Structures are given as structure tokens and as C-alpha cells.
Structure 1
Amino acid sequence: MVSYREKKVIPIGTVSELTGLSVRQIRYYEERKLVVPERSKGGTRKFSFEDVDMLVEVANKMEDGMQTYEIHKMREREKKQISKEKMREEMLKGQLNVQFNRHRPPS
């Protein structure tokens, strides 16, 4: 089930109001692949609350002097780390299930 924070339902104008960023800045961050909105059938951008958080974080890092490519690289490293952690977690769950006979083969 998708949490409300992940649902892409917020139009760009509202995102602009929430973040204090201009529509132009938001589109620029989209071009740089720092945020990926969905598009409605009519082509309208739809953002999630997670996207709003990311845009605020990006704006703060830009204000601190970071470049968009540095932010993009940092996000890619974070995604890889999260992916590795999820894989470790799944492996541990599997090992525990085998150890404690929680996994039953199909009959």
C-alpha cells in the first residue's frame, strides 16, 4: 500500500507555495533529475509530499553552495546504500526463518 506521502497528487503551483521555490526553479530541478513528478493525461505535473521534502532539501543545499550534479551524485549514493540495507534485511529475515523453521515448503 502506498503511503499518502508517496502519492503524486500535488500540482506544481501548490508545490511552489509550500516550498517558496518558483515554478521555474522546480522545473529546473526536474530537468536535473533531482525530482521526478508524474504527469496527468493532460500533461500536468503531480508531486508527492516526499517530492516537496526533496525540493526543500535541494534548495537548502544549493543555498549552501552545492551544485546540482553534486546533489544528484549524493542522492544516487544514498539510494544504493538504502538498497544494500534492504537486501541485508531480507537476507537476515530469510536466515532467521530457516533457523527457526518458520519457512514451510509447499505441500
Structure 2
Amino acid sequence: MGYQETSYKDKKVISIGVVSELTGLSERQIRYYEERGLIFPERSDRGNRKYSFSDVESLMEIANKIEDGVQTFEIRQEIKRGNKKEDQRSIRKKMLKGQLNAQFGIQQNE
């Protein structure tokens, strides 16, 4: 069990054309959001952008915020704060797990 199971929502398998159809955003808008650091697609061996379902959801949220007048800078700051909170939650969870394992004498093989 040495690999991390990725949720289907986080697998980067969707092309920019399909993302454009799903979101109603132009490919140019999607690339702009990437340039602004709001979305992070992976690249195929041929250099094509690949997005996940989670990315599609994020793009929809970004588009809604921009429609409401929120600036891309503000959205990027919000994303950074969200990532920081998620990192902190992850660290707390690992610490708690370690404490419980130590309390009950459970050995973890990683």
C-alpha cells in the first residue's frame, strides 16, 4: 500500500476544450485564469493541458466571483488562505494520528 489513491475528481484527464464546454468559459479565459495562478492544470507529454473535475468546479466558482466583481488578485489570495488552512488541518490530523498511535503502541510502516 505504498501509493496514494487519488479520487476520480482530482485526476487530471479532461482537455481544455471539454472544460470550456462544461463551464461555458472560452479557452482563452481558462488560460488567463491559469496565468493568474487561479488554476493549475497538468500537462500531457505533448504539452496539452489536462484538468480534473475539481478544476472544473473551481473554474465555475472563479467565474461566478469575477462576475460578481471580485478581482483575480483577491481570488488568488483566497485560494492561498484556503490552501494554508488545508495544510494546517492536514498537519493537525497527522499529529493527532501520531499521538494516538504512540498512546496505543501502534507502529506505522510508511
Common topology (TM > 0.5): yes
Matches of 1:91 and 1:82, distance apart in 2: 14
Aligned to 2:92: 88
Q: Which runs of 4+ in 1 moved over 4 A?
A: none
How far 1:20 moved relative to its partner? 0.8
Structure whose CA Rg is larger: 1
Aligned to 2:6: 2
How many matched pairs? Answer: 104
Aligned to 1:103: 107
Specify which of 34, 37, 47 is matched with residue 38 of structure 2: 34
Q: 3-state DSSP class of the match of 1:21?
A: coil
Aligned to 2:58: 54
TM-score scaled by length of structure 2: 0.89
Q: What is the alpha-carbon root mean square deviation over aligned residues?
A: 1.2
TM-score scaled by length of structure 1: 0.91
Matches of 1:101 and 1:36, distance apart in 2: 40
Matches of 1:77 and 1:20, distance apart in 2: 27
Farther-moved stretch of structure 1 (78-87 vs 40-49): 40-49
State the identity %: 59
